[in-house]
Amino acid sequence: MKKEAVLHLNTEDFIYPVARNRLIVKLRTAKGDMSDCRIIYFCRTKPDMRNDLELEKKYSDDLFDYYEGKIEFSKVARYQKYYFKLTDTDNKDEYYSATGFSKEVPGDGYFEFLYANRGDVIAYPEWAKGIIYYQIFPERYANGDTSNDPPQTMPWGTEPSRENYMGGDIKGVQDKIPYLKDLGIEVIYFNPIFEADFNHKYATNDYYRIDPIFGTNEEFGFMVKELHKAGIRVVLDGVFNHTGIHFKQFEDVIEKGSQSRFYDWFLPSKEKDISITHKDYECVGAYKYMPKLNSSNPEVRAFILDVMDFWIREYDIDGWRLDVADEVDSAVWQTARTLLKEKYPNLILLGETWGYGGTLVSGKRLDSVMNYMFRDAVRDYFGFEKITATEFDTKINRMLALYKSETTDVLYNLLDSHDTERFLFYCGGDVKRFKLAVAFQLLFKGSPAIYYGDEVGITGDNDPDCRKCMEWEEDRQNKEILDWYKMLIKLRKDYECIRIGSYRTISCSDEDDILVFERADDKEKIRVIIRKGSSDKEVRVEGLEGAIDLISNEILTTDPDGKTAITPCSVKVIKVKN
């Protein structure tokens, strides 16, 4: 037994309540090392009444297996002592407790779960589980009202730069609601829309006002109502790590220095003669036009909470995407979750991070994060083609194992965004590989996120090229890609197990460049086969005789050996007979 690989701590990462009477327990072991893993648990006041539960192996990567189990109690889960009985593949037993390993049943040194408080229960809005996001960069989506175009607005479709404007606005989005409804998306995440400098609007000057180039607060409110009527929710971009230099509180600091009542709202490096330079105050990165807020200041925290509450209360938005959330004092998000979730329990709080977001989604902070771990794995396998099928499977399984299973239902799984190259660009324009990546995204666990225009074949390098105008001329749209998105979105909605079921790797092969995985719930199972390889080598899979491919609606045939041929760059979605 590889004891050094075994890990469990009595922390939220390894044991947590999903109801006051229901606990999830997680354990890590070396890959392929165990034949049986069990948790032995008992109430501290009844040590002779011991229960045991076999843990299920949920995920595996190249080094570890990840086990999980659910314990249910008749009353509130409290004062539960526990240890593990581990049986390796040589049929040798070891007992694992808080003090380490022993050959005999431990007499003390147990792990202990103390109390399942109401606020400790891991729960997310039901609507947010497996929901389909659509990200809109407002200035480039659609121009519905030319009267609010800024000076020197360029013709729609002009090559984008970091300075030019194309006229996208709120009315433009509202006009395209029928298109969005037909596509099948369920939530729009809007890049910043508050009054701000630059076309990206990440340098906010007034947090309570829609930028005039997009419209008015009243027009925004009407658009939200129309989107809600169409069954589409709204998430706004909250830029609370930093402001713009024309934010009135920052202007007061520039004018008065340390004598300004807002001096401690920011992080200046000098007390007077403060100029617009990153040398005089802390910024996001070293970008002088975006001074960093002092989010450890209680006044700043109160301001942020007031802004968040204002747009929920007055305009009925459904959530916040929080810019560079991992650079903001974590107390802000803990306070936001406590106060806002009490008033608006169906609110979603989604943080931006470019790596593992465990810190953001633990400790009563945010619900979800932008899952760039997912993006990186999909990019490297389907786009850059620099990792094998096995390496891809390892990355995906490790990512799933790091998060709580409940959290993976609401992770924002993106292929690209306003901050990255377009995914079709990663694929070198290869539509076949792009479609495989889209299939994996939309058939995977979590909440797939579509960056506007991907569905019609828009490509482009990183900022500003990834922020092109949406293509509305149908003869310039890629109908093959658009139809592919619509078909997969419909599949996702038709089968609950694809939307919120479990994920399990069935097999993967580097030689055949093929991945097989299963999505399942208590009612049904869907098996997905993705073959990326472009070689003419024949690849055949067993066990598909008489099965229906939900993509082609064809009954699969088999050869005399009972195998089905899988062609290169293809996807099959099979409903498994229970």
Q: Is 90 left (phi over 0), alpha (psi -120 to 50) or beta?
A: alpha
From 139, 318, 352, 454, the catalytic residue: 352
Q: How far is CA 451 from CA 256, 370, 446, 538, in A?
A: 43, 12, 16, 35
Q: Which of 340, 342, 347, 257 shows the shortest CA–CA distance to 302?
A: 340
Between CA 334 and CA 524 the distance in angstroms is 38
- Within a 13 Å sphere around the CA of 513, how many CA atoms are in the beta-carbon half? 20
Question: Residue 243: phi, psi to the nearest 5?
Answer: -125, -175
Look-up: residue for tokens 């713009």?
244
- For residue 423, report the phi and psi dihedrals to the nearest 5 degrees: -65, -35
- 125 token code pair: 């809005």
Q: Is-cis flag, bond preceding 125, omega within 30?
A: no
Would you say 297 and 304 are in contact if contact means Cβ atoms under 8 Å apart?
no
Q: How many CA atoms lie within 13 A of 422 on its CB side?
A: 24
Alpha-carbon distance of 539 to 126, in angstroms, equals 40
Q: Is the dihedral of CA 545, 549, 555, 557 positive or negative?
A: negative
d(CA 524, CA 496): 8
Beta-carbon contacts of residue 120 (< 8 Å; ≥ 6 apart):
16, 17, 364
Residue 240 parent element (H or E): none
d(CA 267, CA 281): 6
Distance CA 476, CA 176 (A): 17
Question: Which residues on adjacent β-strands are paired with residue 449?
Answer: 133, 414
**Residue 103 CB neighbour total at 10 angstroms:** 8
The DSSP 8-state label assigned to residue 390 in this structure reads H
How far apart CA 70 and CA 325 sit, in angstroms, is 31
Catalytic-role residue among 88, 186, 211, 323: 323
Q: Is 323 a catalytic residue?
A: yes
Active site residue 465: no
Q: Which amino acid is at 184?
A: G
Three state DSSP letters for 402-470: HCCHHHHCCCEEECCCCCCCCHHHHCCCCHHHHHHHHHHHHHCCCEEEEECCHHHCCCCCCCCHHHCCC
Q: For residues 450 and 458, is the Cβ–Cβ distance under 8 A? A: no
Angle between helices 298-315 and 330-343 (to 10 degrees): 30
Catalytically annotated residues: 323, 352
